[in-house]
Structure 1
């Protein structure tokens, strides 16, 4: 009986010791896993408030480069945006033609009396017609603008070869083309176009108004830079006819088709 009681106590003691050993070993072998806190913090997205763009144009009433534009948009959450713009364009008469006579390869416009430079400050609206897809790509915008037209009527200058009858000395002069028609320089002949800068001191301003409508294809943007192509139509009305060609009635209304390449930045 005592022997059985002794065995029972020994068994209970061994079981308790084994249980404590197992618990100790388990706590020793288990290494708590380290949880690295996430360091990714999202910066608040910057909201674009405005966009500026510089444009180079070619028009139906000019050469390859017909003018320059500066435009600024005020962006909002809607599908339309307001913008302000200023243009500086050269307008030519559709009846102009280059003289068939040339001197050393130089040419000039036959019968041209005045050049017309137009400054157009304007206010406009832009509407989104086709939005960009989620993967990117172009967007199509509709454009309408209006504002004053400031016409600068500048005399057209040509270089002439003129022989002074008093001194028999031959000189080259830059004179208004109109002076070659009124016998101011007898026995002179035209060499070619003079510098475009000649005649700015004789500019006459002619006020007017204009309207423009266009489609703007906004190309894929990179970072905050963007490019777009704009194809449109402009109508200028001036308060008095502008005489541009000799023996040709002046006009007060000019219509122009244009294509402008814009490059700009948003911020």
Structure 2
């Protein structure tokens, strides 16, 4: 993430003089929409997708409504493979997937507006809303054969109390298995970001957004676990993120 924010500051420094030289103008667009793809410090690449809709309130402020769907990982997750080369890779100790659905409302403050057919627009985005955390069991393929010669593979949720021998884990199960065993946690999230919009035409939206997301659920969510119980899980998640977006204005 250091590289990401170094890139953002360099871009901002390069864009600022040009943005300051542009004059603020009134245009005929009153609505905008954007689709985005996220990279987050707690979610990998890609970590999520979002849709955002904006409506002009004043010359400098837009009202925003949006929804994001993102995956959240434990910071200690490591992908490994069965030492005998059997099966696919898996995350040892992973008990659950966590996906967050984030409806939100916020404000988009335009700091520097781009000219009608050129330049860069710089915005500050502040948004908040509920978080719906969907918790799905992490499925593995476990070998129950008594002699280890003739495999007896069973797909089931990982349980450190049962699956005590990592050498018998042949790999992860199907991502689509276990949805019927999932449950839900409720929470809240807050987003603060800077948005850099580029593009040849005012009617198009293309750019990058960099910011921070704070999220808290109503209970601790177990993502990773070992037999000793030494792995810590949390109900609160913080992330730095970078998103690439595209859309348009009407």
Instruction: Name the TM-score, length of structure 2 as normaliser.
Output: 0.79
From the superposition, tell whether residues 155 and 136 of structure 1 become closer, same or farther in structure 2 (CA, over 3 Å).
same
Q: What aligned pairs does 1:41-190 form with structure 2 within 5 A after superposition?
A: 47-99=28-80, 101-102=82-83, 103-104=85-86, 106-133=88-115, 136-163=118-145, 170-178=151-159, 181-182=161-162, 189-190=168-169
Q: Per the alignment, in what secondary structure is the counterpart of residue 180 of structure 2?
A: helix
Question: Partners in 1 of 2:100 and 2:166 — Cα distance?
Answer: 35
Q: Per the alignment, in what secondary structure is the counterpart of residue 245 of structure 1?
A: coil
Q: Which has the higher contact order (CA 8 A, sep 6+)?
A: 2
From the superposition, tell whether residues 96 and 171 of structure 1 become closer, same or farther in structure 2 (CA, over 3 Å).
same
Question: Partners in 2 of 1:152 and 1:77 — Cα distance?
Answer: 37
Deviates more, 1:244-253 or 1:82-91: 244-253
Structure 2 unmatched runs, 5+: 1-25
Deviates more, 1:226-235 or 1:105-114: 105-114
Instruction: Name the TM-score, length of structure 1 as normaliser.
Output: 0.74
For these two proteins, the number of residue pairs brought into alignment is 219
2:221 aligns with: 242
Q: For the aligned residues, what is the CA RMSD?
A: 2.6
Q: Which has the larger radius of gyration?
A: 1
Q: Per the alignment, in what secondary structure is the counterpart of residue 214 of structure 1?
A: strand
Deviation at 1:225, TM superposition (A): 2.5
Structure 1 unmatched runs, 5+: 1-44
From the superposition, tell whether residues 233 and 114 of structure 1 become closer, same or farther in structure 2 (CA, over 3 Å).
same
Deviation at 1:228, TM superposition (A): 1.7
Check conservation: 2:62, 2:109, Cα contact below 8 A.
Answer: yes
Q: Per the alignment, in what secondary structure is the counterpart of residue 144 of structure 2?
A: strand
Deviation at 1:110, TM superposition (A): 1.5
